[in-house]
Amino acid sequence: MRRTRGGTWVLRAGVFVLGALFVVLGGVLIVLPGPLTIPPVLLGLYIWSTEFAWAERLRDRAAEQGQVAWQLAKRKPVHTSLVTGGGLLLAVFLVAGARRFGVVDRVLGTFG
């Protein structure tokens, strides 16, 4: 496909759209209850990095920051576990509260 100018453009556009789908999915997962928000964003960034230099630089920077975060987490495993567990408990309580009080239905009702 790269042999023609049009083929290169189609390939780049396809890579952009596929990467964007995963990045948008990660963005949607931020507001919806559920785990795994970051992996789709990283997958979209990885897909983009196969064609775009700016995405490769972002991916490399994210990998470096991930390594730094991992090293910091290993220094204080108890603290990291407590903070992570507390965050997960808070998320569970927020989702349970939103369901209990019908927050999603109320928000959708104001726009619908």
Are 45 and 16 in contact, with CB atoms under 8 Å apart?
Answer: no
Q: Half-sphere exposure of 44 toward its Cβ, with a 13 Å CA cutoff?
A: 17
> Is 33's pLDDT higher than 80?
no
Count other Cβ atoms within 10 Å, centred on residue 59.
Answer: 18
Coil, strand, or helix at residue 10? Answer: helix
Average pLDDT (19-26) is 92
Are 98 and 33 in contact, with CB atoms under 8 Å apart?
Answer: yes
Distance between CA atoms of 39 and 27, rounded to whole angstroms?
A: 11
Which pTM does this prediction carry? 0.61
Q: What is the pLDDT of residues 35-71, one digit of tens each?
A: 678 889 889 999 999 999 999 999 999 999 989 988 9
